[in-house]
Amino acid sequence: MARRVLRVASALSLAWFASIPSAAHAFGDVGAFEARPLLVGDQAGSRRMSALALWATELTNRTSAPARPKPREVRASDDALFDVPFAYWSDNRQLPPLSRAEVANLRRFFALGGILFVDDAAPNETGPGAFGDYARRELARVLPDMAPSPLAADHVLFKTFYLVQRPEGRSNNTKPLEVLARSGKIKVIFSSHDITGAIAKSPNGGWESSLTGGEPQRERAVRLLVNISMYVLCSNYKDDQVHAPFLMRRRGLTPTP
């Protein structure tokens, strides 16, 4: 009984301090997932804040991972970029070239292990749109020794929580996700599917877009976002050998000893 009282008291105390709005980090919250919109140049703000909030909500509802429901925007040239090792970058247009300070800051961000998710908000049917091309070009300046490569269907990103077949967002084109990676560690994920667009809300509270695949497509977009979060928080945990027989069985494959 005393143990239960203690646990309830502990939970209440933790809940209390987690709700303190002024703290950039709080105990128990410091390692939480936060999809921070990255702003560069003249970008005034993110178009997908509702999607990012929903991403956080879905993550906490579906998984044990903590997430911040109200992501804070961060400028690429700001030291705040080093508050969280994940950032989300999206737009539907080409932006001004990255400044020297932004390039340097992003380079340090990646050097410390940060991951950037680039979600093209206006992709073409066949691939990246203007922003996607722009982001690839500018990130090549940041990470000149890396080139985008398609993410194989059996990559751990597609099994970090859900078993995801292929990337889908507002657009369900067949273009694969692309990544910039070094030694197997992903630095940048390029999506040409406007994944956050699939779960973006309009000001009136409804979905911003209706999807050709309907709600199942939206659900698949959520699942991919959850998987991205899990990759950010667990890295390649699901590649560990201990998971292999379970995952192969669920994918209908025969486990090998």
Partner 1 sequence: MSEHLSVAAPTWLGWAACGVGALAAGLLVLEVWRTRSGKAVLASGVAAIVALLLAIVRPERVQTHEVRSLPTVTVLIDASRSMALPGNEGTRFSEAQRAVAALADAAKGKAEVRAFAFGRKEPEPWSTTLTAVHPTSQLDPALTWLETRERSDALVVISDGRLDTPVPGTSRDALATRFKAFGIPIHTVNVVDDAPKDAHIRSVSLASTAVAHVPVPLRVEVGCTGGLSCGDLELRVRELRDHGSARDLSRGVAKVSGETALVEMNVTLDTVGHHVLEVSIAAPAGDSIPENNRRLFPVRVTRERVRVLHVAGRPTHDVKAVREWLKSNASIDTVAFFILRTHSDNANARDHELSLIPFPVDELFTQHLASFDAIIFQDFDAQPYGLDRHLPAIAAYVNNGGGLVMVGGPNSFVAGGYAGTALASVLPVGLESGSQAAAADVDSFVPTWSDEGRAAPLLGPLRSLSGDELPSMPGTNVLGALRPGASALWTHPSRRTRDGKPMPVLAIGEVGNGRSVALGIDGGWLLGFSTFGLRSGGRATAALWDGLLGWLMRDPRYEPVQIELAEECVAGEPVHLELRALPGLAPKEASTITIDVQQLDGSTKPLHREIATASGEGGARITFDAMPAGGYSARARFGNTTTVRRDFACEVGGQEWADPRPAPEHMRAIADAARGVSVSARDVKRIPLPEAKVLTTMRRDLPLLPAWVWALAAATLAGAHWIVRRRTGLL
Residue (3 or 45) nearer to partner 1, CB: 3
Q: How far apart are CA 27 and CA 223, in angstroms?
A: 28
Nearest to 167 by CA among 154, 179, 158, 156: 158
Q: How far apart are CA 49 and CA 35, in angstroms?
A: 10
- Cβ neighbour number for residue 130 with a 10 Å cutoff: 17
Residue (175 or 187) nearer to partner 1, CB: 187
* Structural contact between residues 90 and 37, judged by C-beta atoms closer than 8 angstroms: yes
H or E element that contains 51: helix 49-62
Q: How far apart are CA 22 and CA 175, in angstroms?
A: 42
Residue (2 or 44) nearer to partner 1, CB: 2
Residue (11 or 147) nearer to partner 1, CB: 11
* CB 65, min distance to partner 1, A: 5
Q: How far apart are CA 91 and CA 33, in angstroms?
A: 21
* CB 84, min distance to partner 1, A: 7
Interface residues with partner 1 (CB under 8 A) are 2-3, 5-7, 9-11, 13-14, 16-17, 20, 23-32, 61-66, 79, 82-85, 108, 111-114, 159-163, 219, 223, 230, 232-238, 240, 242-243, 246-247, 250
Residue (44 or 242) nearer to partner 1, CB: 242
Q: What are the strands, taking DSSP E only, across 58-155? A: 74-75, 86-91, 115-120, 149-150
H or E element that contains 50: helix 49-62
Residue (200 or 230) nearer to partner 1, CB: 230
* CB 138, min distance to partner 1, A: 22
* CB 9, min distance to partner 1, A: 7
* CB 201, min distance to partner 1, A: 18
Residue (133 or 219) nearer to partner 1, CB: 219
Apex 174 CA angle, 223 and 53, nearest 5: 30
Q: Give the amino acid at 140.
A: A
* CB 131, min distance to partner 1, A: 27
* CB 221, min distance to partner 1, A: 13
Place of tokens 């995801």: 164
